[in-house]
Amino acid sequence: MPDLEVNYLGIKLKNPVIAGSSGLTSTVDKIRSLEKAGAGAVVLKSLFEEQINYEAGSLIMDHDYPEAEDYIKNYTKSHSVENYLKLIEDAKNTVSIPVIASINCVSASEWVGFSRRIEESGADALELNVYFIPTDKFSPSTDFENIYFELARQVADIVNIPVSIKLGNNFTNILGVVDRLYALGVKGVVMFNRFYEPDIDIENMKLTAADVFSKSSDIRHVLRWVALVSDKVRQIDISASTGVHSYDGVIKQILAGAKTVQVCSLLYRNGIKEVSNLVDGLEQWMNNKGFSTIDEFRGKMSYKNIPDPSVYERSQFMKYFSNIH
């Protein structure tokens, strides 16, 4: 029987399938079900800075006393934080798989100090989910990248548990960003985040949300960069996210160089039982191919290890559409 154990962020996982941050990891009962289904680890539902600020703002609007503003802001944040820390503690007391905390933030501010409290609550690692929309046309891109770097530096300096960063794929130089994050003490990157995307209802003339779930074809956006980063920044661990809807998606990302794979949309659509299908499919494929461990095939199809690495660099469909007029 193949050994599916992997080392991610310096933590031993029984297999590389991680339940990604979502409502499916927001309670102890759900986390217990994911462990039973075979998940190698869970990333807790993110604590959102934007949500906390929104809730505080809504409460403030209902009060006419300016002096109540600071109290409401502090109470709302404290209440959200305490509930989150309790979730970490309860999860660690209930399951044996690694529990990775997640913060969705757009600034360092108090979140740096909060990271230490996450560590004290028993989290095995911390995933920083950082994203914002640059809307100032006069600010250079380096200003926005520096927000990621400064947050990573401060958090990595203050905690002893490993820190990973969940990235979007819209950086000018993803390889450069990942390399800088590694130099600042970040142990891993999650590639890539799936963001809220607006749509327009043309009948009612209003903004709506696009489909929140990924499709299996979305794996293509991630595969290229996993293959490149795993070779260009070898010291950092990669967790591939978005577009994994079957066990072959898990295998593809590991072949490209990922240490682990995070799944979410598949579990929402088909149920937590899909974790077992992913793990069983991976194990059966390894049996068929004669692989005893994950490391025996991880990265075999990465940028460096294929005969023609330029296929990962190609951006146009020249071969396929050159004869179309």
pLDDT score of 76:
39
Q: Give the residue-averaged pLDDT of 100-105.
A: 89
Please indicate, yes or no, if residue 98 is contained in any of the structural domains.
Answer: yes
Q: Is the dihedral of CA 84, 85, 90, 92 positive or negative?
A: positive
Lowest-pLDDT choice from 26-35, 68-77, 138-147, 217-226 = 68-77
20, 75, 77, 119 from 55: Cα distances, Å: 25, 11, 9, 26
| Mean pLDDT rounded to a whole number for the chain | 86
pLDDT score of 107:
64
pLDDT(75) > 60:
no
CB atoms within 10 A of CB 309: 14
The residue segments making up the domain with residue 230 are: 6-321
Share of the chain above pLDDT 70, in %: 84
Please indicate, yes or no, if residue 182 is contained in any of the structural domains.
Answer: yes
pLDDT score of 198:
86
Q: What ranges make up the beta strands (E) of 157-269?
A: 163-167, 188-191, 198-201, 206-209, 237-241, 260-263
The span from the CA of 4 to the CA of 286, in Å, is 9
pLDDT-derived band at 131, boundaries 50, 70, 90:
confident
Please indicate, yes or no, if residue 26 is contained in any of the structural domains.
Answer: yes
Please indicate, yes or no, if residue 155 is contained in any of the structural domains.
Answer: yes
Number of Cα atoms under 13 Å in the Cβ half of residue 72: 17
CB atoms within 10 A of CB 169: 15
pTM for this one? 0.87
pLDDT score of 193:
85
Q: pLDDT tens digits, residue range 172-218?
A: 899 999 999 999 999 999 999 877 778 899 999 999 887 778 888 88
pLDDT(74) > 60:
no
pLDDT score of 217:
83
- Here the tokens at position 33 are 């079900």
pLDDT score of 188:
98
* CB under 8 A, 24+ apart: contacts of 69-73: none
Residue 220 or 194, more confident: 220
Q: At 240, which amino acid appears? A: A
Please indicate, yes or no, if residue 1 is contained in any of the structural domains.
Answer: no
Q: pLDDT tens digits, residue range 280-312?
A: 999 999 999 999 999 999 999 998 888 877 777
DSSP readout, 253-287? HHHHT-SEEEE-HHHHHH-TTHHHHHHHHHHHHHH
Q: Give the residue-averaged pLDDT of 130-159.
A: 88
pLDDT(62) > 70:
no
Cis bond upstream, residue 317 (ω within 30): no
pLDDT-derived band at 21, boundaries 50, 70, 90:
very high
Q: Give the residue-averaged pLDDT of 82-103.
A: 96
Give the chain's domain count. 1
Q: pLDDT tens digits, residue range 231-249?
A: 999 999 999 999 999 999 9
Share of the chain above pLDDT 90, in %: 63
pLDDT score of 317:
52
Please indicate, yes or no, if residue 172 is contained in any of the structural domains.
Answer: yes
- Residue 74: CATH number of its domain: 3.20.20.70
Please indicate, yes or no, if residue 166 is contained in any of the structural domains.
Answer: yes
**Contacts (Cβ under 8 Å, ≥6 apart) of 95:** 31, 32, 35, 42
Whether the CB-CB separation of 119 and 101 falls below 8 Å is answered with no
pLDDT(321) > 70:
no
pLDDT-derived band at 56, boundaries 50, 70, 90:
very low
Q: Which helix (H) or strand (E) holds 145?
A: helix 141-158
pLDDT-derived band at 161, boundaries 50, 70, 90:
very high
The span from the CA of 288 to the CA of 290, in Å, is 6
Please indicate, yes or no, if residue 245 is contained in any of the structural domains.
Answer: yes
The span from the CA of 141 to the CA of 150, in Å, is 15
